[in-house]
A = this chain, B = another copy of it.
C-alpha cells in the first residue's frame, strides 16, 4: 500500500518550498516569474511519481469543489438519463464533475439531497425541481449559489431555466389529432402543479376548446409503484369507451397507456389513437409505432450547461436570469393517423 504523496513530499524531494510547487501546479508560475527550468523540473517529477493534489484539502481551502450537483426526477427514465449523460459529458470537458441523484418528485427527499450537495460544497446546481421546494432553492440562490432549472421552472423563484414550449407542444399534438378526424380526445396526466404539466394541459385544453370539442382530462396521482398508476388508467378506459384518442402527459404515462391497452385488448390506432409527450425507444419500435412530442435533449443539455458555466465563471454582478424555451418536435408515427403509413 503505497503512501499517498503530499505537496510537502514533492517540495522536500526537490528542495523547493511547497508554495513554489503550488504556484507551478496552479499555473501561476508565469505570474510569479518562476524560472522555466524549475517549472520543468517540478512538472517532470510530479508526472514521474504520479502526484495528484488532494482535492479535499484544496476544496476545503478554496471553497470550490469543481463539482456540479444534478438532480433529475428519475434517472431510470430515458429522457432524464440521456440529459444526464449529455450534461455529464459537457461538464467533464469543462473540468467539472457531476454528482447526480433522483428526486422521485419527492420534496422531502429533494430537500435532503440539497443538503447533501450543500454539504459537499458543490459549485452549482442543475435540477428538475419537484413542487414545494421553492424556499430551499431560494435560500440556495440567496447564498449566492448558481442554480439552473430544467424541464420545468418555479414561478416564484427567479433563476435561470431551460425548458420546452410545453403549451405549444400539447396544443400542436391535439390539433394534429383533430385534423386526423378524432373527436373524443383525452389527456392523461399526473396530478401535478409543476409548470410543464400545467402548460401541457393548457395547450391541450385550448386546442380542444378552439374546435368546440369536449376536454377530458384524467389526472393520476404520481406513484413509484406502477400498479397504482395502471389501476386508475384501467378504470378510466373502461368507463370511457367513447374515447378515440389519448394524449399522454409524458413517456411514463404513455407506456402505461400501452400496457393497459394491451391488457384490455384495445388496439392502438384502430381503437384508440395515441400521442405521448417525450419520445422513447419503445414508441418507435411499437407496432404500430407511437407518435410522440419529442424534446430536443441535446439542446436542453447544451443550454443548461452553458448557462451554468457562464454563472460559474461570472466574476461579479449577477446578470439578469434568463428563461430559455426550446421547441418540441412532433414525431408523427402510425398511432395517430387515420391511414397507416
Contacts and interface: CB of A to CB of B under 8 A. Distances in A.
Contact of A115 (B52, B78, B115, B262): B52
Contact of A285 (B57, B76, B100, B282): B282
A316 B76 CA distance: 37
Contacts of A259: 284-285
A99 interface: yes
Interface in A282-341: 282, 284-287
- The bracket for how many chain A residues form the interface is 35 or more
Given A120-B56, A285-B258, A142 B1 contact: yes
Contact of A287 (B119, B281, B286): B286
Interface stretch (A24-32, A80-88, A163-171, A208-216): A80-88
Contact of A255 (B59, B82, B143, B281): B281
Contacts of A119: 52, 54-55
A2 to B, nearest CB: 7
Contact of A56 (B74, B115, B121): B121
B60 A2 contact: no
Given A60-B56, A285-B286, A81 B85 contact: no
A232 interface: no
A97 B81 contact: no
B282 A55 contact: no
A330 B207 CA distance: 46
Contacts of A11: none
Contacts of A101: 88
A181 interface: no
Nearest to A50: B115
A228 interface: no
Contacts of A285: 255, 258-259, 262, 282, 286
Nearest to A81: B76
Interface of A: 1-2, 52, 54-57, 59-60, 65, 74-76, 78, 81-82, 84-85, 88, 97, 99-102, 115-116, 118-121, 142-144, 255, 258-259, 262, 281-282, 284-287
6 contacts: A2-B143, A54-B119, A76-B78, A97-B120, A259-B284, A282-B285
